[in-house]
Structures are given as C-alpha cells and as structure tokens.
Amino acid sequence: MEKSARHMERSDFYLNSCLWMMGILNLIMVLFLAGTITLTQYRIAFAQNARSFLSQLAVMPEQPQIRMLTVVGCCVLIALVMVAKRDGDVQGTGWFTSLSFLEIVLVLLLMWQLDMGYNGIVFFVFADILFYVKRSGSRLLILVLAFLCYLAGNYQLVSLLFPMNSFETWVSFYDYNTGRFFLGMRTLCELGNTVLFLVYMILLLLADRQENERITSLNEQLQRANEQLHAFAEEKEQMGETRERNRLAREIHDTLGHILTGISVGVDAVSVLMDVSPEAAKKQLATIGDMARTGLNDVRRSVRKLKPDALERMSLENAIFQMTEEMSKGTNTKIYFASYMDKLEFEPDIEETLYRIVQESTTNAIRHGKATEIWIRISEKNGEMILMVSDNGRGCADIEEGFGLKHMRERVELAGGSLFYEGVFGFTVIVKIPIRRRPETAPADGGKNVMDRAAGPERGEQDDKSDDCR
C-alpha cells in the first residue's frame, strides 16, 4: 500500500512538473507573439511608412494597446481558472465543467487576438483538463474536442473564412535575419510545446496503468481477506456445532442415565413385589411412571434449546422480518417479505421449519447466487401453507442437490410437506406444508409458551412423534 502511494505521488509530481513547464513555455510564446505584433505596429507608425505596409495587410489591425491588454487579461484569467479547478470541492461537479468551458473560450479568444499565429496553447489547456478526468470515455471526448479546437486555431483554415493578418506578414516588416529569428523562435517554442505534451500524455497513461494495477492488487487482497474470513466463519460455525452437540449429548446422557437407572431398579422391585404385595407394586409402578414422565420432559427441554432464539422471543412473522432486515443491512441486499395470510401461527415444528428454510434460502442466494434482490412470499391454498423464496441471482440450469438442499428437504418432509426448486431465472425455492395451527387453549398446567403447551400430557403420543422427528 505504501509503495503504491509513493508511486502515485511520484506520478502526480511528474505530471504537475510537465504541466508547469508547458504553462511557462506557452506564456513566453503568447507574450512573445503579442509583443512582436504590438511592437511592429508602433515601429510602422514611427517609421511613417504605414500606408505602404497597410497595403500588404488583409485586414485593418486594431489598436496595439487593446490587443496587448486583451492577451494579458486572457492569460491571467486562464491561470485563475486553473487554480480554481484544483479545489477538491469543485472537482467532479457542474462548476468544474463550467470552468473548463470558460477555459476553452478564453483560449479561443487568445488565439484570435494572435491572428491564429499560434495554436499550441490548446495542448496546454486540454492537458490541464485531462489531469482531472479519470474515465476513459470522457478522456476520448476531450481529446476529440482538443483536436477540433486545434483545427479552429489553424491560420490556414480560419483565414479561408475570416480575413486576418498572418504572423509572417508582421515579420516581413523587419530585415531578413530578424524575421528569421522571430520565425525560428516560434517554431522552437511550438516544437518544445509539442514534445512536452507528448511526454505529458505518456506520463498520464503510465499513471493510469499504475492506478489500475493498484486497484487490481487491492481487489486481490480484499478477495483473499474475504476467503480467509469465510474460512474462519465456517470453522467457528463448526466449532459451535460441535460444542452444542457435545453439550446436548452430555445433558441427554445425564438425564437419561439417571432416569433409566431408576426405572430399571424400580421394575426389578415391582417384579419382586408383584406376588408379595400387589398394592405396593402398583405404588411402585406409579412412581416409575412419574419418573419416566419427568425424564421425558427433561429430554424435551433439552431438545427445545435447538429452537431459534428469535422464535422463543417473538412471533414467526416478526422473527422472519427481523432476520431479513439484519441480513439486508449487513449485505446490502434488498429483501422483500410479504405474507398473504391473516396469521402466521402454526405448530412449533412448522414455524421452525419455515424459519430455517427462509434463513438457508436467503443465505444461499447471497453467498452462492450473488443475488441483489430476494423476494419472500407466504400464502395459503387448499389447506396448505406455501412459502416461496426467489432471487435475481445467477441461478443454475443443472442443479445438483447438495447438503443444503437435502437438509431443507428433510426438514420439510418431517413436517409433512414437499419442497421444489428451479434455477432458470435466478433461483426459486417453493415449500408446501399442510397447515397445522396452534391449539387455541392452553393445557391445564398453564404452560408459559407454545412449546410448553405442546408438551402437555394430553398430547403425549403426538408430541412423542414430533420430538422424535426433530
């Protein structure tokens, strides 16, 4: 990074140095031409041979002092415009465009005052404009405009439309050697200005190349950092899953080990008491039943800890909305969620399935499909709840069902539903599950939440099945 920054600073220094040299050279050239024409006009007047010389001119010249003041004023204004454009607040705004247009107008006026005797200043002005323009398309347009302005400053072309006096005509007033000196100075300045402009363009192209290389390098570093971050996130997720499995295994092992040991000993005692004291055997069986139910409730509480925390704290609709909102803010992905059902209140296993399907589908759309927009719709038809998650990602014509899709299909089938998907236009996941609403009344134990109510004794057989599925 520091090396690239030094390269950029060095490139800017070379470009600014070249631009300054062009500016000084063009200022000398413009003042030299304007001064030569003005001085020639005064000398003609003092020599008292104006009549014979005026017969050689194509058009009557204006007052020499007016010409000189106009040239100096244009030079000062051009310098002020260039200084104003270096303000960072002006660059990239409409003011910058207006200042650049004013700069071009001043150059055309300056060349007109010099009778189109020098158009190399066009290179200097457009070099200054190109310094601030980074887009290749805009630079090409500016170069075309520079070529047109260069042609507009050519004496041979302009004199065909407007009569004007050439610089050679003014120089012809002097003797041969003096005239050759004036013309030689102009040619030397034009050559130097052209060389500096070519060097400037080469430096500008090299600076663009270095900037592109720097951006490419930064993108590669960012890509590597993202890959490392994904690897770390996956490793952390695996570690979390391993810790959770170990915790759950220990908890169930301790619970079941204690309960099953007590049941085993109790059954042995019942087998002994059955013949000796039937009443005592019945009491022992009741104790064993209470112990089994307590153990079953303990196992259910352990399994319930696998339920998403959001569903413990809020409704399914709010949980999905919160999840999509957080993901949308974190990934800059537009996620639209719409429910066409009056209430999203289902059996706990269905709510958890829907939540996990939405979570997995949106994650896959962003991670694998590179989607920028995701649509989530929940509706009802023929006694079935229909969940559709679609995106505008890359899609996939030949879909191979990996772990994620298999896991989603298993979840849906355990809830008694079916899962479909297609990847022609983006990727779409459709889930259909028979609607099973929550019970309207709470059980006698006055459970605190839906899961507690689902675990009531009057729903024992059904809950055993659903707990086995989960």
Q: Are residues 91 and 187 in the same domain?
A: yes
107 within 8 A of 78, measured Cβ to Cβ: yes
Q: Are residues 116 and 263 in the same domain?
A: no
Q: How many CA atoms lie within 13 A of 456 on its CB side?
A: 15
CATH no. for residue 246? 1.20.5
Domain, as residue range, for 277: 237-304
In-domain check, residue 447? no
| Alpha-carbon span 197 to 120, nearest angstrom | 9
Q: Are residues 204 and 279 in the same domain?
A: no
pLDDT of residue 449: 35
Q: Are residues 185 and 37 in the same domain?
A: yes
| Alpha-carbon span 421 to 24, nearest angstrom | 70
Q: Are residues 289 and 398 in the same domain?
A: no
| Alpha-carbon span 387 to 380, nearest angstrom | 9
Q: Are residues 261 and 153 in the same domain?
A: no
125 within 8 A of 143, measured Cβ to Cβ: no
Query: How far from chain centre, in Å, is Cα 369?
Result: 16
| Alpha-carbon span 312 to 300, nearest angstrom | 15
Beta bridge partners of 433: 385
> What are the strands of the beta sheet with 373-381, ordered from one edge?
334-339, 373-381, 384-391, 427-434, 418-422
Beta bridge partners of 374: 335, 391
Q: Are residues 298 and 323 in the same domain?
A: no
| Alpha-carbon span 299 to 466, nearest angstrom | 13
- Find, among 155, 159, 153, 98, the residue nearest to 123 by Cα: 153
Q: Are residues 182 and 248 in the same domain?
A: no
- Find, among 411, 337, 429, the residue nearest to 378 by Cα: 337
Note the pLDDT tens digit of each residue in 182-206: 888 888 888 998 899 889 888 888 8
> H/E element holding 433?
strand 427-434
In this prediction the pTM is 0.46
Q: What is the DSSP letter of 446?
A: -
- Residue 200 structure tokens: 């400037």
pLDDT of residue 338: 93
In-domain check, residue 453? no
Q: Are residues 245 and 207 in the same domain?
A: no
Count of structural domains, the chain? 3
pLDDT of residue 467: 36
50 within 8 A of 44, measured Cβ to Cβ: yes
| Alpha-carbon span 60 to 80, nearest angstrom | 32
In sequence order, what E strands does 297-426 have?
334-339, 373-381, 384-391, 418-422
Residue ending a domain, among 282, 304, 326, is 304
Q: Are residues 299 and 314 in the same domain?
A: no
248 within 8 A of 302, measured Cβ to Cβ: yes
pLDDT of residue 392: 93
Cα dist. 86→2, 6, 79, 81, 128 in Å?
24, 21, 11, 9, 10
In sequence order, what E strands does 297-423 have?
334-339, 373-381, 384-391, 418-422
Residue ending a domain, among 222, 253, 276, is 222
Note the pLDDT tens digit of each residue in 401-433: 777 788 888 889 988 999 999 888 899 999 999
Token pair 């020639």: residue:
40
| Alpha-carbon span 71 to 111, nearest angstrom | 9
- The low-confidence residues of the chain, meaning pLDDT below 70, are 1-8, 47-55, 88, 92, 244, 246-262, 264-265, 291, 294-295, 298-310, 330, 440-470
- Residue 392 structure tokens: 């505008």
In-domain check, residue 33? yes
